[in-house]
């Protein structure tokens, strides 16, 4: 729980769930089945490091098994606790349902400050944690498939996959036991960028609907929009990078753990990223003004606010002062339930976490499918597609010549048209489709029901209805 938070993250998720469920007509028993977290496993294990035994506490929580495997990241942070893991597992259930990835919800966490340990120590700790989870089928290609979250990334996922393989030497699908792996260890193109890319696709889809844009008191497209990003890690960096480079939005402030940097003309994201990689924070970055009191930067004038750090950062203490008319929750649970009510009253449009950051799990789904099919996407059709395009281009050029037209298809068009889709193009296309489709389901509920006042409630309604359907089909 954030120090400024009114209630715990879990209570916040519960409250938002309740608001939605009150608008539904589910039997009480089914409602309770969907609400509760099925199981949480707590493990305390020792690892001999630096000459003595250190005990670590970890969790893996399974919220709902209406579909299996269950899916959800593993977080490394000192703040990890059972409540948080369970709240995040519940969000995973609804997120997967909303973007139609065929998984139940799960989440894991280890109470650790990864910065305090050297790489080989972290590997020992991760392998031991993975061992404990694999032993209980809490990591398993057909039962429970983790992914990265705060404090973990490709490196940890590769260790986990290898640990599973060592313990299951004849499992032909072993690589599918975890997603977010490096490409050379069974990963997929576009997974690292996926959550940030999903934020970009979500915003693009939002701006395709002028009716929704005007509800946020905005107009036009993403071009020139002033954006504030909190958290410059995997999600925040990629979102800021794509939005500034490809949609011409202006990132006017970046908030990090050690302060914030502000430039009304727009920050050069690549330069900032190089600086942060070298110095571990934004303090000292010369090309923008530094603000010591980082949190106050959340309250600056802007068009779009992207909290991409952690939960509970927008709370009753600052919600009144947030000026952004549009907030897209890249982090999980950045707005507490009370703050959400305050912002709604003020007319702020919130694109909820459950939808906004679903890019990660969507591409994880593609990676899992790739691992189970043992072939990279595009390998069979790419050259055939190029050959067919070549045939068409040649025929058009021949017809133009035969008709006495001197012009031929331009080389830039021909090059772009001939290029068959590789894995990255296919992953981006699948992600874009998933983000667009899910948004359309949400907005349909948002606009068609007078009792649904916001996108978050709409997201919960769509997701809960799908989970309920799944339980009904199972005969529960
Ligand atoms: P990360 O560890 O790569 O980056 C988080 C960044 O936020 C770090 O740079 C950290 O210094 C900064 N930060 C932490 N607390 C802060 C604070 N109070 N103020 C300002 N900066 C702060 O983590 P990430 O993977 O980018 O995840 C960020 C959020 O996105 C989390 O809520 C996570 O659950 C969510 N998320 C991540 C993914 C994913 O694929 N990585 C997918 C879905 C959701």
Domain ranges of the chain: 39-187
Mean pLDDT for the stretch of residues 118-140: 98
Ligand 1 geometric centre to CA of 332 (Å): 9
Least confident of 19-28, 103-112, 357-366: 19-28
For 349, list phi and psi in degrees, rounded to 5. -90, 130
Q: How high is the pLDDT of residue 3?
A: 44
Residue 459: HSE in the Cβ half-sphere, 13 Å Cα cutoff:
26
Helices and strands (DSSP H and E) totals, the chain = 16, 12
pLDDT-derived band of residue 12, with 50, 70 and 90 as boundaries? confident
Residue 418 has pLDDT above 50, yes or no: yes
Residue 4 has pLDDT above 60, yes or no: no
pLDDT tens per residue, range 81-97: 999 999 999 999 999 99
453 is an active site residue: no
Mean pLDDT for the stretch of residues 132-159: 97
Mean pLDDT for the stretch of residues 241-269: 98
Nearest CA to ligand 1 atom 31: 331
Mutate to test the pocket of ligand 1, among 310, 355, 358 (most ligand atoms within 8 A of CB): 310
Beta bridge partners of 60: 41, 108
Q: How high is the pLDDT of residue 6?
A: 66
In sequence order, which residues have a C-beta less than 8 Å from that of residue 105 and are 6 or more positions away? 62, 63, 64, 70, 71, 72, 89, 90, 91, 92, 93, 94, 95, 96
Question: Cis ω on the peptide bond leading into residue 131 (within 30° of 0)?
Answer: no
Residue 476 has pLDDT above 80, yes or no: no
Mutate to test the pocket of ligand 1, among 309, 333, 354, 431 (most ligand atoms within 8 A of CB): 309
Ligand 1 geometric centre to CA of 114 (Å): 14
pLDDT-derived band of residue 474, with 50, 70 and 90 as boundaries? confident
Mean pLDDT for the stretch of residues 216-241: 97
Q: How high is the pLDDT of residue 2?
A: 44
Query: Hey, what CATH class is 39-187 in?
Result: alpha beta
* Residue recorded with tokens 């404090």: 151
The pair of structure tokens assigned to 323 is 């000026």
């Amino acid at each position: 729980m954030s120090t400024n938070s009114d209630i715990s993250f879990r209570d916040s998720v519960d409250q938002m769930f309740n608001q939605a469920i009150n608008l539904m007509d589910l039997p009480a028993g089914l409602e309770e089945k969907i609400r509760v977290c099925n199981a949480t496993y707590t493990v305390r294990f020792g690892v001999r490091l630096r000459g003595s035994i250190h005990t670590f506490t970890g969790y893996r929580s399974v919220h709902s098994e209406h579909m299996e495997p269950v899916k959800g990241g593993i977080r490394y942070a000192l703040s990890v606790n059972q409540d948080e893991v369970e709240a995040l597992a519940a969000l995973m259930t609804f997120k997967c349902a909303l973007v139609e990835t065929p998984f139940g919800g799960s989440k894991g966490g280890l109470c650790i400050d990864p910065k305090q340990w050297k790489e080989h120590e972290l590997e020992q700790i991760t392998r031991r944690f993975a061992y404990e989870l694999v032993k209980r089928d809490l990591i398993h290609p057909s039962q429970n498939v983790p992914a990265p979250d705060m404090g973990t990334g490709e490196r940890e996922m590769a260790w986990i996959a290898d640990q599973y393989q060592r313990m299951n030497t004849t499992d032909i699908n072993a690589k599918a036991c975890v997603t977010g792996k490096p490409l050379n260890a069974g990963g997929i193109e576009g997974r690292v960028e996926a959550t940030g890319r999903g934020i970009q696709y979500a915003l693009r889809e939002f701006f395709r609907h002028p009716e929704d844009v005007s509800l946020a008191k905005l107009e036009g497209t993403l071009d020139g929009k002033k954006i504030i990003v909190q958290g410059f890690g995997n999600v925040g960096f990629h979102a800021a990078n794509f939005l500034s480079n490809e949609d011409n939005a202006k990132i006017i402030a970046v908030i990090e753990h050690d302060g914030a940097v502000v430039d009304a003309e727009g920050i050069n994201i690549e330069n900032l990223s190089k600086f942060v990689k070298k110095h571990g924070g934004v303090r000292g970055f010369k090309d923008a003004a530094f603000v010591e009191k980082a949190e106050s930067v959340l309250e600056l004038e802007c068009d779009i606010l992207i909290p991409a750090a952690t939960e509970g950062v927008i709370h009753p203490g600052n919600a009144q002062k947030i000026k952004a008319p549009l907030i897209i929750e890249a982090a999980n649970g950045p707005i507490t339930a009370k703050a959400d009510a305050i912002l709604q009253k003020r007319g702020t449009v919130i694109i909820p976490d459950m939808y906004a950051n679903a890019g990660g799990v969507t591409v994880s789904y593609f990676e899992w499918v790739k691992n189970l099919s043992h072939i990279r996407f595009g390998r069979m059709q790419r050259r055939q597609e190029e050959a067919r395009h070549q045939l068409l281009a040649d025929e058009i050029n021949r017809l133009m010549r035969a008709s006495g037209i001197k012009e031929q298809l331009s080389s830039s068009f021909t090059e772009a048209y001939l290029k068959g889709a590789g894995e990255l193009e296919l992953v981006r296309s699948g992600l874009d489709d998933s983000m667009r489709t899910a948004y359309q389901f949400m907005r349909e509920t948002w606009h068609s029901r007078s009792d649904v006042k916001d996108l978050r409630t709409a997201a919960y309604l769509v997701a809960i209805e799908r989970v309920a359907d799944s339980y009904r089909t199972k005969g529960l």
